[in-house]
Amino acid sequence: MGLCESAWVLRVSSHRVFFFWYAQESSAGVWAGMVDPTQWWGHRKALEVIQWLYLYHMRLSDDVLLDVMARFQAEMVKGLGRDTNPTATVKMLPSFVRSLPDGSEKGDFLAVDLGGSQFRALEVKVFNDGRQSSQLESKFYPTPKEVIQGSGAELFSYVADCLSDFMESRNLKHKKLPLGFTFSFPCKQTELEEGVLLSWTKHFKARGVQGTDVASSLRKALQKHKDIDVDVLAMVNDTVGTMMTCGYDDPRCEVGLIIGTGTNACYMEEMRHIDLVEGDEGRMCINTEWGAFGDDGALDDLRTEFDRELDLGSLNPGKQLFEKMISSLYLGELVRLILLKMTKEGLLFNGKVSAALLTKGKIEMKHVSAMEKYKEGLSNTKEILTELNLFPSEDDCIAVQHVCTIVSFRSANLCAAALAAILTRLRENKKLLRLRTTVGIDGGLYKTHPQYPKRLHKVVRRLVPNCDVRFLLSQSGSAKGAAMVTAVAYRLAAQRKQIDAVLAPFVLSLETLRDVKNKMRTELEYGLKRETQDRATVKMLPTYVCGTPDGTEKGKYLALDLGGTNFRVLLVKIRSGRRRSVRMYNKIFAIPLEIMQGTGEELFDHIVQCIADFLEYMGIKGARLPLGFTFSFPCRQASIDKGTLVGWTKGFKATDCEGEDVVDMLREAIRRRNEFDLDIVAVVNDTVGTMMTCGYEDPNCEIGLIAGTGSNVCYMEDMKNIEIVEGNEGKMCINTEWGGFGDNGCIDNIRTKYDKEVDEGSLNIKAKVSDQKSIPRILFSSFSFSFSRVLQETVKELAPRCDVTFMLSEDGSGKGAALITAVAKRLHNIGQK
Ligand code: BG6
Ligand code: GLC
């Protein structure tokens, strides 16, 4: 490390230069020697040394670079975190690009590429003809300062004008084409087709654009051109476009890097790490906007006086500090500032400063690249300096070349450090010891500087020896990638349209729902009346449950729960009084399909077998416990412990059960087994069990709703309305069996062809229409989280005068069955006395 760590210190007096070896060990600082270099080493050597000393702060050792890499890793984490993002300088912007090209992209696209050194409009044709190929036609347009630093409206109208001109020249005006917009500035995106500009960077500064949606500004400007029809479908950063361009040729490409007018990188991040976007599955491309690294002072120890001076003279002081140490817009100017200072201090050009050297922007990146060329470098340097009226000696030229090398070397080093951080993150995300990956690269500095690529690759490989990196130059700019993204967006938009069309019949208007409500009301009343009850599709079955729990229930009960997703046997211990509580023990048993659809005897023998296992398991085989039977099928009851199965529903179809009393069948099966005895006190539907379970917690509960394997509801009805049960006093719970709603065709207007297909493929064809209709499967699978919200909101809308609390039954209906059993047992005992 030599020169960097041990400090060589310069003293300059008039045109004579001295340098000193500063003995670090001495706390007081002892001058160990003082030499006139022109005499000691010869002039040229001395000047080389001087520049090394002068710019030693710009030479970064691998240790420093590893430190920068670690700092950038921390910045990435900060940018990705929901709470830390607002104060993060590296914004880690989600791009809404979720996959790399897969070869299925095809079509004819337009693209606009704005924000690099050149602005162009393009037509990209992507073929999917067995071999992946694409065709690209483009036209460059100038970006005059008055356009890119004028008003936003003018800028977008200029872009639209250029696109229209391009379409004219390519004879595309008659076509409706999708467009991908490469916009190389930091934009906050919430979807692919929009992006709010966070701040201008580089040489752009149009008024009134920051904080607004750039894609919609472009759309508005395009709408003014009545002769073209362009659909702005996707907006991407140039890094993302570059990654996609390279990804088309190399599927391993998962990083996009720009080293041009500005610098930036994107990479594929795991969704689970991106707090700002919903969802944990898969990956999404993150535009790091690493140009802003250091804007919070994180790199202040590495920035030199020249970096600070350059920043102060820029369009955006204090911003994009990392970019200002790296990208081509600034490197020439950094070199100029260094040369100016060295000249003023007499180290160059005999101390004679020219007006050109004093002028901002006079040295550009192209000059730096030319001066660093292998063979012609020295003569190029002489020419360039002469053009700046500097009359350089050969030594001056060598010195200036050194300055260029140091500045561009630092740029490559810093870029390598940040890239190494991204590569390490990718490797760690994939939990690999060794990562093999491709980095897609673009940008004028990387493409035109003679040594830059080699230097960059070398340092990256040194910093991350456990990554095998392929650096793939983007041959066709970022627009081909933008077209790829647009192709995917286009396909998705077309798919979305198709899906919307398919789903349209599933979308029920409020008016339709009101109609359904009225029809249901009619059916409920139909089911309650003596004359119509027989033919009613909504059976309105009396349950003989006349009250909800009152807290005095107690004892040990068995419960069976048959008819939901699981068959369960439960032991429920209820305590009353001050230590009121319910403790439950349960076991789930499988009911094989052949049993569900075998004979009734087999089904009930199996149930008794499960009860036996449970009693054995709980060690209570000898106890003759009261049992409540949740039987989630339509049963016509004559009392609380008598239930005749009206008809099987859901997946059940055991023979010889319909029209039979299921309690009797259970009793007989227990008798057949002849191993234990049980006191079957109550048979209840799952809706009733659920209402009771919730009623134990909330005495206001008077409706039980099931939306599961099947769907049904029960509620407390006034006895006077229940014509088929004697008595007019009080209330009784009615099991509506609303699943049969529509079996008479009354809601055929809302049944889709899919409902009919499901019906035709079901066990109980033309029965239970509303079981299928009211609960589309889709709600249960991927969207089940919103089911309860939609349910509650719709109920509110359709029954505005009812204030409804929805209470989830945490314990299932078994607890309710036990509570009913407890009540029935109590009443039974009272009756016996
Ligand atoms: C071009 C890309 O090739 O490179 C642009 O198409 C990108 O999208 C540009 O912005 C970056 O390089 P430069 O040197 O033009 O800034
Ligand atoms: C600037 C922009 C960034 C872009 C980069 C390269 O850093 O902010 O969006 O990717 O330049 O063009």
- The count of residues in the chain is 833
Closest ligand to the CA of 446? 1
Query: Which atom of ligand 2 has the smallest separation from the CA of 202?
Result: 1
Per-residue confidence (pLDDT) for residue 224, from 0 to 100: 94
Residue located nearest, by CA, to atom 4 of ligand 2: 184
Q: What element of type H or E holds 333?
A: helix 328-344
How many A from CA of 290 to the centre of ligand 2?
8
| Whether the predicted model's global pTM rises above the 0.85 cut | no
How many A from CA of 249 to the centre of ligand 1?
19
How many A from CA of 186 to the centre of ligand 2?
7
Q: Which of 336, 455, 568, 636 is catalytic?
A: 568
The tens digit of pLDDT for each residue in 381-390 reads 999 999 999 9
C-beta atoms surrounding 12 within 10 Å: 15
Query: Which atom of ligand 1 has the smallest separation from the CA of 443?
Result: 12
Helix, coil or strand: residue 700 = coil
Residue located nearest, by CA, to atom 6 of ligand 1: 477
pLDDT classification of 188: cutoffs 50, 70, 90:
very high
Closest ligand to the CA of 331? 1
How many A from CA of 72 to the centre of ligand 2?
17
Residue located nearest, by CA, to atom 10 of ligand 1: 116
Q: Which of 307, 561, 686, 811 is catalytic?
A: 686
- What residues flank ligand 2, with Cβ below 6 Å? 115-116, 184-186, 201-202, 237-239, 258, 260-264, 289, 291, 323
Per-residue confidence (pLDDT) for residue 502, from 0 to 100: 87
- Per-residue tokens: 374: 């292998």
Helix, coil or strand: residue 177 = strand
- Higher-confidence position of 761 and 588: 588
- Per-residue tokens: 55: 């710019």
DSSP-assigned states of every residue in 751-777: --HHHHHHHHTSTTTTS-HHHHHHS-H
Per-residue confidence (pLDDT) for residue 787, from 0 to 100: 84
How many A from CA of 262 to the centre of ligand 1?
9
In 3D space, the residue among 571, 281, 303, 249 whose CA is nearest the CA of residue 439 turns out to be 249
Query: Which atom of ligand 1 has the smallest separation from the CA of 184?
Result: 10
How is residue 661 annotated by DSSP? B
Phi-psi group of 551: left, alpha or beta (phi > 0 → left; psi -120 to 50 → alpha; rest → beta): left
Whether the predicted pLDDT of 415 surpasses 70? yes
Residue located nearest, by CA, to atom 9 of ligand 2: 185
With a CB cutoff of 8 Å and minimum separation 6, the contacts of 62 are 462, 463
Residue located nearest, by CA, to atom 3 of ligand 2: 185
Query: Quick one: average pLDDT of 351-377?
Result: 95
Q: Mean pLDDT in the chain? A: 87
Helix, coil or strand: residue 249 = helix
The tens digit of pLDDT for each residue in 766-803 reads 444 444 433 332 222 233 347 888 999 999 999 999 99
- Per-residue tokens: 291: 């140009």
d(CA 793, CA 789) in angstroms, rounded, equals 6
Residue located nearest, by CA, to atom 11 of ligand 1: 443
Query: Which atom of ligand 2 has the smallest separation from the CA of 116?
Result: 12
Whether the predicted pLDDT of 6 surpasses 60? no
Identify the residue whose tokens are 């040229």: 44
Query: Which atom of ligand 1 has the smallest separation from the CA of 118?
Result: 15
How many A from CA of 671 to the centre of ligand 2?
82
Closest ligand to the CA of 260? 1
- According to the 3-state scheme, what is the secondary structure of 550-594? CCCCCEEEEEEEECCCCEEEEEEEEECHHHCEEEEEEEEECCCHH
Closest ligand to the CA of 262? 2
Whether the predicted pLDDT of 11 surpasses 90? no
How many A from CA of 611 to the centre of ligand 2?
70
- Per-residue tokens: 166: 């391009």
How is residue 260 annotated by DSSP? S
Q: Which of 274-288, 459-473, 491-505, 710-724 has the lowest mean pLDDT?
A: 491-505
In contact, 162 and 122? CB cutoff 8 Å: no
**568 tagged catalytic:** yes
Per-residue confidence (pLDDT) for residue 702, from 0 to 100: 92
> How deeply is 301 buried, as exposed, middle or buried, from its count of CB atoms within 10 A (0-12, 13-18, 19+)?
exposed
**686 tagged catalytic:** yes
Max distance between CA atoms of the chain, in angstroms, equals 127
With a CB cutoff of 8 Å and minimum separation 6, the contacts of 406 are 51, 52, 55, 58, 59
How many A from CA of 116 to the centre of ligand 2?
8
Per-residue confidence (pLDDT) for residue 431, from 0 to 100: 96
Identify the residue whose tokens are 């209570």: 620
Out of 148, 442, 485, mutate this one to test ligand 1's pocket (max ligand atoms within 8 Å of CB): namely: 442
Query: Quick one: average pLDDT of 679-692?
Result: 90
The tens digit of pLDDT for each residue in 537-548 reads 999 999 988 877
Per-residue confidence (pLDDT) for residue 51, from 0 to 100: 60
Per-residue confidence (pLDDT) for residue 775, from 0 to 100: 33
Whether the predicted pLDDT of 19 surpasses 60? no
- What residues flank ligand 1, with Cβ below 6 Å? 113, 115-118, 182, 184, 238, 241, 258, 260-261, 328, 442-444, 477-479
Whether the predicted pLDDT of 319 surpasses 70? yes
Of the chain, the percentage scoring pLDDT greater than 90 comes to: 64
Closest ligand to the CA of 442? 1
In contact, 251 and 58? CB cutoff 8 Å: no
How is residue 338 annotated by DSSP? H
Per-residue confidence (pLDDT) for residue 445, from 0 to 100: 97
pLDDT classification of 43: cutoffs 50, 70, 90:
low
User: Backbone phi, then psi, for 473, in 5-degree steps?
Assistant: -75, 135
Q: Which of 43-57, 136-150, 638-652 has the lowest mean pLDDT?
A: 43-57
Query: Quick one: average pLDDT of 214-228?
Result: 94
d(CA 233, CA 192) in angstroms, rounded, equals 7
The tens digit of pLDDT for each residue in 117-141 reads 999 999 999 887 766 778 889 999 9
DSSP-assigned states of every residue in 408-458: HHHHHHHHHHHHHHHHHHHHHHTT-SSEEEEEEEE-HHHHH-SSHHHHHHH
How is residue 352 annotated by DSSP? P
Residue located nearest, by CA, to atom 1 of ligand 1: 477
In contact, 796 and 804? CB cutoff 8 Å: yes
Out of 185, 238, 331, 411, mutate this one to test ligand 1's pocket (max ligand atoms within 8 Å of CB): namely: 238
C-beta atoms surrounding 40 within 10 Å: 11
Could you tell me the CA-to-CA distances from 820 to 349, 551, 553, 627, 683 in Å, in that order? 104, 12, 9, 10, 9
Whether the predicted pLDDT of 269 surpasses 90? yes
Query: Which atom of ligand 1 has the smallest separation from the CA of 444?
Result: 14
Closest ligand to the CA of 245? 1
Task: Say what the alpha-carbon torsion angle 338, 340, 343, 345 is, to the nearest 10 degrees.
Answer: -80
For residue 567, give the amino acid letter: F
The tens digit of pLDDT for each residue in 813-823 reads 778 888 888 88
In 3D space, the residue among 68, 532, 600, 574 whose CA is nearest the CA of residue 299 turns out to be 68
Per-residue confidence (pLDDT) for residue 778, from 0 to 100: 27
Q: What element of type H or E holds 559?
A: strand 555-562
Per-residue confidence (pLDDT) for residue 768, from 0 to 100: 46
Q: Which of 632, 711, 770, 774 is catalytic?
A: 632
With a CB cutoff of 8 Å and minimum separation 6, the contacts of 478 are 113, 116, 182, 184, 236, 238, 239, 240, 241, 242, 244, 245, 442
Cross-strand pairs, 113:
120, 182
For residue 34, give the amino acid letter: M
d(CA 35, CA 58) in angstroms, rounded, equals 24
Out of 201, 266, 288, 478, mutate this one to test ligand 2's pocket (max ligand atoms within 8 Å of CB): namely: 201
Out of 478, 480, 485, mutate this one to test ligand 1's pocket (max ligand atoms within 8 Å of CB): namely: 478
Identify the residue whose tokens are 């002068």: 54
For residue 655, give the amino acid letter: T
Residue located nearest, by CA, to atom 11 of ligand 2: 262
Whether the predicted pLDDT of 75 surpasses 60? yes
In 3D space, the residue among 453, 483, 482 whose CA is nearest the CA of residue 470 turns out to be 453
Per-residue confidence (pLDDT) for residue 760, from 0 to 100: 85
Query: Which atom of ligand 2 has the smallest separation from the CA of 115?
Result: 12
Whether the predicted pLDDT of 30 surpasses 90? no
- Per-residue tokens: 726: 């004697």
Per-residue confidence (pLDDT) for residue 37, from 0 to 100: 44
With a CB cutoff of 8 Å and minimum separation 6, the contacts of 808 are none
Of the chain, the percentage scoring pLDDT greater than 70 comes to: 89
Per-residue confidence (pLDDT) for residue 331, from 0 to 100: 97
Helix, coil or strand: residue 331 = helix
Query: Quick one: average pLDDT of 235-239?
Result: 96
Per-residue confidence (pLDDT) for residue 819, from 0 to 100: 86
Query: Which atom of ligand 1 has the smallest separation from the CA of 478?
Result: 6
Whether the predicted pLDDT of 8 surpasses 90? no
CA 508, 510, 512, 517 dihedral sign is positive
